Amino acid sequence: MSELTAEQAREAAEAAAELAESAAAEAREAADAAIAFADQAADAVGAAAHGASGGAIDPFVFRLAIFVLAIFVGYYVVWSVTPALHTPLMSVTNAISSVIVVGALLAVGVGSIEALDGNGPWWARTFGFVALVLASVNIFGGFLVTQRMLAMYRKKTS
């Protein structure tokens, strides 16, 4: 009887894992579509405002305003996350930071079009190095925080 129950539990766990994977894939697709839509909307709003003002307002100003609003929205979203969701949020943050590390490495190591000797513009290499350092600190700190959060759920041995 216990073998049958264990087999049923294993099958239920596999089914749940498959459902979770498909839900994650659909969530990724929805996020990609939302990002594409937001980028198109920002372009459209910037172009419309630029045209409506007769070219008096630069589209960069609208992009900057959207960026500043995104900072405020992100701040309030992150601070309203419940502690139970903190660990998965940190995992996603670490994944994003790893992509930033790849881009920063490219900025530091790849030469410009004019100078193919690998030296590139000094400012691009400097910003790439700063991005590399900050993203690395973010990844390391994220792993430390995740470890500490998971330690809170371990049973204490006396």
Pair (75, 89) in one structural domain = no
Last residue of a domain, one of 49, 80, 111: 80
Q: Which of 39, 59, 80 is the last residue of a domain?
A: 80
| Whether residue 74 is found in the same domain as residue 93 | no
Q: Is the pLDDT of residue 101 over 80?
A: yes
Question: Is residue 147 exposed (0-12), middle (13-18) or buried (19+ Cβ within 10 Å)?
Answer: exposed
Select from 57, 80, 103 the last residue of a domain.
80
Taking alpha carbons only, the member of 87, 81, 82, 79 closest to residue 146 is 87
Question: Is this prediction's pTM over 0.85?
Answer: no
Range with top average pLDDT, 10-24, 31-45, 124-138: 124-138
Domain that holds residue 144: 82-158
Provide the 10 A C-beta neighbour count for residue 113. Answer: 6
Q: Is the pLDDT of residue 131 over 70?
A: yes
- Structurally, the chain folds into a number of domains equal to 2
Residue 65 banded pLDDT, cuts 50, 70, 90: confident
